[in-house]
């Protein structure tokens, strides 16, 4: 990832790590060479695509509605702070905490993003 885009992503994650539908950011490290690694909340059930494939029988309308509402809340929050998610898809929605939390990841800010005022 290019350093400017990477720094922007880390800045966003740090700002929003307590928002319930955004993946929590814990830190940043590197491999001692050239790669930086973002340390985030563990998504116990992987992404939404994996969850669906592994749990087709329990993917009932109530669960679909809850996941849809969580995703909508996360996207609405990003919209209110002027961040556009350029690739919302099942692979960018993570399932945590016994199927009770849906978290969005992989979003980017526009070039004017510096610090969010909430």
CATH value at residue 76: 1.10.510.10
116 occurs within a structural domain: no
pTM score of the predicted model: 0.74
118 occurs within a structural domain: no
pLDDT digits (tens, 9 = 90+) for 80-95: 887 777 778 898 888 9
What local confidence, expressed as pLDDT, does residue 83 receive? 77
**pLDDT of 116 over the 50 cut:** no
What local confidence, expressed as pLDDT, does residue 5 receive? 65
Q: How many domains does the chain have?
A: 1
- For residues 95-99, average pLDDT: 77
Q: Which of 105, 114, 117 is nearest to 39 (CA)?
A: 105
d(Cα 51, Cα 55) in Å, to the nearest integer? 6
């Amino acid at each position: 990832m290019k350093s400017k885009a990477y720094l922007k992503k880390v800045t966003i994650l740090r700002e929003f790590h307590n928002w319930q539908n955004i993946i929590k950011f814990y830190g940043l490290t590197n491999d001692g060479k050239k790669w930086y690694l973002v340390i985030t909340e563990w998504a116990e059930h992987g992404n939404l695509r994996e969850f669906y494939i592994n749990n087709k029988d329990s993917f009932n309308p109530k669960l679909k509605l809850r996941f849809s509402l969580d995703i909508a809340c996360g996207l609405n929050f990003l919209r209110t702070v002027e961040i556009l998610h350029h690739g919302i898809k099942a692979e960018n929605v993570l399932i945590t905490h016994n199927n009770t939390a849906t978290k969005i990841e992989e979003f980017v800010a526009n070039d004017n993003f510096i610090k969010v005022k909430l």
